[in-house]
Structure 1
């Protein structure tokens, strides 16, 4: 008995040492700027994330300041027709939100997130500098008079679009890496940091909305009343300042080393499963091959019952010794259970990605047709104060700011007490709520457009008639956009998190491309039927019918999302925890709280 108590005391003392060590150092495969294990007190968490959020604020300020009012520039300075300008903006937005797939892959495989952010910042600044030159250098200006009533110089158009697509390339490195790099500053296995990480995504979007709000108000106001040159020059200087600030915080960051192409291990799973297709599944999933935790690079995943054919890639054949396999094995013949589950994760995400695209369709309308609607209406808020058309987007930003703050500070604490979910509601439930708002937003837009078409002089109608569609869409963004960011960061394999954020962005990009295709398809079909829904201007168009079509698509898609969500299985991670209350080290094998 005395001997047992002594052994128990020694075991407790050892566990306490482990806990203290875990509180001092961060053992999540990250390193500090000198390549060592990071100290928990001096690296990561909010002290590091604030540097990262600062450069994101600057990038979003530039992006929304340019993209929101670009359609006005294309129609007013380059003299493009409204449907041509809308397709141009949609195509540019689509490219900008799909390039992150390449940037995310390169960051995860080769450069690391910090390196990719620095390279893309240089490219982004190059684009802003070219844009500034196109407004100040005489030979690059659209024309010699202001306002420009003549066809613009071809050289100006070339420089303009080169600048815009340089910004697209810069965004392609920023967007997948900045947000995931910020999330990397929180340790998933540390209970306090894990809770902070859940708030991180909300406050990241709060900062993004602040950039959006200033972009569609202050920057757009400067563009319309002081000139595009002044606005772009200011954006260039501010971006340069925040890039320097981001670099200065490098000693506070936790870094993840690139692990080579994440696609090769996934391909190995398919090859190994096909090779062993004739083998029977083991009676117990515990018989599937997995390396010991001491040899594992990163977190291990637990077995799930979906896509069981892929399990065959981890079956140990009769002539193979487990002890020998742990030392060396052919990954094209035998893969670990974790690798198999990572492939399952990617397949599991495809239906969610598809059902998210109609929301991207709705988002694509805000910087295009919504702005042109506003331009035809009375922009006077008071007798002495007139706003630029694109400034009405500020209502969406304010609504998103409110929804994110209320969700994080009010809804989540209440829902945690009700259902015990540390997120408040599951990620897919949050996305679904936003889809309801997007459907309501398109309905409000259709009703507002019907009202606008019904008056003889749209200038007699206040632009505030568009407020409901912007506000409702902003509330939807606070649920769906933030939810998609969390989902694609958390649910992808750990070594593909930059690609995960890029997948979220691809939803918006694909929505923009489909919006362009839909405009062309509807224009062709309705044109053959008699009168196209898209005329040379809004007076001769029927945007109300187009909005009703989008509302119907989103309503049907919502039920598809619910059906997919009910059948969804969340990422199942085996966590290592250190619990101070009973002073013991334990290994958790439960599913990540969705």
Structure 2
């Protein structure tokens, strides 16, 4: 229960030990711990995310089938377009995070992004009603990329805002924050699963326009749920009298470069900074220490001064670069689940009961089911068991968690390669090589292991990346931390698109069938999967090398 004292105006004012440092409530007063934030606020935020992911994946999951069916694109062109849009949508949060952290704040960014997102979904539904033609394509792709803009502002801000509801300096709330990321991802996958099971069926068997219209309603509900919780949230103010964290960190790099010719002994706070930091941290990226030097004659210019904390923040960002780069291999595998995994399923026997066939895109629901089932197992069973041996509250370190997921993603793509080889052999045995529209007599259940493996890998790597990038960036840049995790997925999608386009061009030369032939019975997606397995294995080795030397930021 909150503790209060009486003020002279006979009003109740919360005692200082019950307030949360550096945050305010809905009315701009110091936030009272017992009356704001925590799981009460997180429930509204996770609820809003469930409906936003429902809307997002209702578009993304079946996009390749809309492009090949409604717009008449080839398999290779559609897969490249899906990856290009996905990559752009995953990268736009970098811009959204900058705006949120520097200008608008997270709450306003979420509201404004929703007001872009909702009309874009309405336009997408309208485009599905139009007859095939140039205007239909223009309106569809314009709406699609406008949705990406909405996601760019919404995604990093909402997750960072959710993390803001827990005080990392309080032991109980710090433990709850780690659990929050698990349940956040549980909520994400609940929304995605609903999209796979409901929207994909409506789009393929009833109406694309109706399917997209339902997504419009879902996003409206997301905004309403988020708004209802407004009075319970904790808000971090954007301090207008201070420069943005991006400007301050940028100044460190500029100062370090400007002072590159100075000897380390010229650093006035050399001894102080050396004592204030762990030896490993001080020695890492030591050239940044030169940002502490103030050139003679410029001592009065405050803009020329960099503090030890600002230099440390710059170090934090540099440490993330190799981890970020090596995590991209996971994202390349992740990109295949909504493209070639789906096209594989479209050629196979998907009859669940007599007369009812599961839509190919709905096969992705096995991925979400695996996540929804495994998150509670991980959070409530595996973590306590492992922590009893490791003495770590989270069981294993965040980087160990991410690495486990990358390893499982390699296993996923290897299994997918074997299954695709089996599918091609079955098509040959039944004389279906030149019958692309015929159903290969091979059950869809063959695809389930690769979806389940990818789902379990997601619980390790995706949740791990969310927590890692959110916690390891400077506190004021938490939205940017979330966007860094999303940008991993964006770069992975773009690299996948590049690989598909390049390999399609190379393998289709000299009159041969491309690895990505529209007739999948003549294609060789299995070769592509083996190539990805090799790339991911190299990336995993690099990840192990960089993660072993990583120095965690103290949260």
Is this contact kept in 2: 1:289–1:335, CA < 8 A?
A: no
**Structure-1 separation of matches of 2:290 and 2:77:** 52
Residue 26 (structure 1) aligns with: 20
Identify if the C-alpha distance between structure 1 residues 566 and 557 changes in structure 2 by more than 3 Å, giving closer, same or farther.
same
**Structure-2 separation of matches of 1:519 and 1:317:** 52
Superposed, which structure 2 residues align to 1:114-263 within 5 Å? 114-135=107-128, 141-143=129-131, 152-259=132-239, 260-263=243-246
Identify if the C-alpha distance between structure 1 residues 434 and 428 changes in structure 2 by more than 3 Å, giving closer, same or farther.
same
User: Whose Rg is larger?
Assistant: 1
For structure 1, the 5+ residue unaligned runs are: 1-19, 136-140, 144-151, 292-301, 573-591
Is this contact kept in 1: 2:94–2:483, CA < 8 A?
A: yes
In the alignment, does 2:272 pair up with 1:287?
A: yes
CA apart distance, 1:289? 10
1:318-341, Cα deviation, whole Å (9 max, x unpaired) = 999xxxx9xxx6444321111001
**Structure-2 separation of matches of 1:379 and 1:80:** 23
Is this contact kept in 1: 2:423–2:440, CA < 8 A?
A: no
Identify if the C-alpha distance between structure 1 residues 542 and 99 changes in structure 2 by more than 3 Å, giving closer, same or farther.
same
Higher mean alpha-carbon deviation, 366-375 vs 220-229, is at 220-229
CA apart distance, 1:382? 2.4
In the alignment, does 2:506 pair up with 1:525?
A: yes
Higher mean alpha-carbon deviation, 409-418 vs 108-117, is at 409-418
Higher mean alpha-carbon deviation, 60-69 vs 379-388, is at 379-388
In the alignment, does 2:346 pair up with 1:375?
A: yes
Residue 17 (structure 1) aligns with: none
Superposed, which structure 2 residues align to 1:478-517 within 5 Å? 478-517=459-498
Higher mean alpha-carbon deviation, 89-98 vs 157-166, is at 157-166
For structure 2, the 5+ residue unaligned runs are: 1-13, 433-438
- Give SS of 1:460's match: strand
Q: How many residues align?
A: 525
- Give SS of 1:536's match: coil
Is this contact kept in 2: 1:32–1:255, CA < 8 A?
A: yes
Residue 423 (structure 2) aligns with: 452
Alpha-carbon RMSD: 2.4
Higher mean alpha-carbon deviation, 306-315 vs 77-86, is at 306-315
- Give SS of 2:345's match: helix
Q: With structure 1 as the length reference, what TM-score do the two structures score? A: 0.84
**Structure-2 separation of matches of 1:562 and 1:124:** 39
Identify if the C-alpha distance between structure 1 residues 84 and 34 changes in structure 2 by more than 3 Å, giving closer, same or farther.
same
Residue 407 (structure 1) aligns with: 378
CA apart distance, 1:349? 0.6
**Structure-1 separation of matches of 2:407 and 2:373:** 17
**Structure-2 separation of matches of 1:362 and 1:443:** 10
Residue 272 (structure 1) aligns with: 255
Aligned counterpart in structure 1 of residue 285 of structure 2, from 307, 314, 319 = 307
**Structure-1 separation of matches of 2:259 and 2:448:** 60
1:126-146, Cα deviation, whole Å (9 max, x unpaired) = 1111122224xxxxx332xxx
Higher mean alpha-carbon deviation, 532-541 vs 176-185, is at 532-541
1:39-96, Cα deviation, whole Å (9 max, x unpaired) = 0011101111111111111110011111111111111111111111111111111111
Residue 528 (structure 2) aligns with: 546
- Give SS of 1:540's match: coil
1:413-445, Cα deviation, whole Å (9 max, x unpaired) = 122221121221111100000011100110011
Q: With structure 2 as the length reference, what TM-score do the two structures score? A: 0.90
**Structure-1 separation of matches of 2:189 and 2:403:** 21
Higher mean alpha-carbon deviation, 240-249 vs 476-485, is at 240-249
Identify if the C-alpha distance between structure 1 residues 290 and 387 changes in structure 2 by more than 3 Å, giving closer, same or farther.
same
